């Protein structure tokens, strides 16, 4: 594996533990004891990812994560935090961290997180021009998007990135026991969206026509640029006029944005739990980590 990962931790034990664990798996690791050195090496070698212990940053933790995301948009950020601060995980995910690992650190969790990053890097470096590359190009050109809209054709995903995106959607469906998971690509100029991929009970996206965002759920997320949790859509004033709320089998769902260069380009929806259970705040935190992963995939394929 050619990917290089930088690790920041002031304590020798953690630097050695992470380095030894990942090196045994063939990952190139450089462990650093100061933030100054970390920033210097990020600029010098352009690593695939950084693993940082935010507990060691004090009150500057959120500021630093935000700085990394803003200045190094393709850099995967993995955050380590103490079990007594697990409720802060959502803050780091909002700032752009791709994963949050709780201390004391477990080998299997560390390896799972890093392997996920390496898989993304592998797809990122593919020589073939993928459909996602074309999607991003189309999103930047409203004229070309309009031509597709007139033909009533949804945007399609193909390999190799399709496999990665689809695996994330399948994981979301399985994890939340949800019948419907989908990604909708946005045309903000026309206020329309196109379903480009789905999991669970999923019809052929090629047969689906573009829909107007209007004042519905997709439009709300696109405009607010934030994920939403709806426990009961029939009692939620935000979506009282949504023309599509009857399409849901149950009343609870989650919906969140995919960002590219700071702008919302797509929206992911999760609905219809098979057991009829209501989505929770804890579910929303986990869902946001998947949104970060998908944003990272799309961002790195520009």
Kindly report the CATH number assigned to the domain that includes residue 21.
Answer: 3.40.50.2300
Average pLDDT value over all residues in the chain: 78
**pLDDT digits 0-9 by tens, 109-122:** 899 889 888 877 66
Residues 177 and 206 occupy one common structural domain: yes
Residues 193 and 93 occupy one common structural domain: no
- The answer to whether 267 and 255 are in contact (CB under 8 A) is yes
**pLDDT digits 0-9 by tens, 49-72:** 999 999 888 888 888 988 998 888
State yes or no: pLDDT of 201 exceeds 80: no
User: Among 89, 124, 159, where does a domain finish?
Assistant: 124
| CATH code of 203's domain | 3.30.450.40
How many domains are contained in the chain?
A: 2
Residue numbers of the domain that contains 155: 131-299
User: Among 67, 93, 124, where does a domain finish?
Assistant: 124
Residues 101 and 201 occupy one common structural domain: no
Provide the b/e sequence for 176-206 (b: ≥16 CB within 10 Å): bebbbbbbbbbbbeeebbbbbbbbbeeeebe
Residues 165 and 72 occupy one common structural domain: no
Residues 31 and 90 occupy one common structural domain: yes
pLDDT more than 70, % of the chain: 78
Cα–Cα distance measured from residue 75 to residue 70, given in angstroms and rounded to the nearest whole number: 10
State yes or no: pLDDT of 132 exceeds 50: no
User: Among 124, 148, 183, where does a domain finish?
Assistant: 124
Residues 67 and 162 occupy one common structural domain: no
pTM of the model: 0.51
Q: What's the mean pLDDT in 180-187?
A: 89
Residues 142 and 282 occupy one common structural domain: yes
Which residue, among 39, 87, 40, 45, has the nearest Cα to 67 in the 3D structure?
A: 39
Residues 116 and 154 occupy one common structural domain: no
């Amino acid at each position: 594996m050619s990917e290089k990962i930088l690790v920041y931790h002031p304590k020798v034990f953690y630097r050695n533990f992470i380095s030894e664990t990942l090196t045994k798996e063939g990952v190139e690791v450089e462990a650093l004891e100061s933030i100054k050195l970390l920033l210097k090496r990020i600029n010098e070698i352009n690593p695939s990812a950084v693993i940082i212990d935010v507990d060691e940053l004090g009150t500057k933790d959120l500021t630093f994560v935000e700085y990394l995301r803003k200045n190094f948009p393709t850099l995967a950020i993995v955050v380590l935090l103490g079990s007594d601060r697990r409720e802060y995980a959502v803050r780091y995910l909002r700032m752009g961290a791709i994963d949050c690992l709780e201390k004391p650190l477990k080998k299997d969790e560390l390896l799972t997180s890093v392997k996920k990053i390496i898989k993304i890097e592998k797809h990122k470096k593919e020589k073939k021009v993928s459909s996602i590359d074309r999607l991003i190009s189309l999103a930047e050109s409203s004229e070309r998007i309009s031509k597709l809209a007139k033909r009533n054709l949804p945007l399609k995903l193909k390999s190799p990135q399709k496999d990665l995106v689809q695996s994330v959607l399948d994981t979301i469906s399985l994890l939340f026991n949800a019948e419907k998971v989908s990604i909708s690509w946005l045309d903000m100029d026309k206020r329309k969206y196109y379903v480009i991929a789905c999991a669970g009970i999923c019809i052929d996206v090629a047969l689906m026509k573009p829909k107007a965002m209007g004042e519905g759920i997709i439009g709300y997320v696109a405009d607010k640029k934030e994920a939403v949790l709806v426990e009961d859509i029939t009692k939620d004033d935000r979506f009282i006029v949504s023309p599509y709320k009857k399409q849901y089998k149950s009343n609870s769902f989650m919906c969140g944005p995919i960002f590219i260069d700071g702008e919302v380009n797509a929206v992911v929806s999760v609905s219809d739990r098979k057991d009829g259970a209501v989505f929770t705040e804890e579910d929303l935190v986990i869902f946001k980590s998947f949104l970060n992963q998908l944003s990272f995939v799309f961002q790195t394929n520009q």
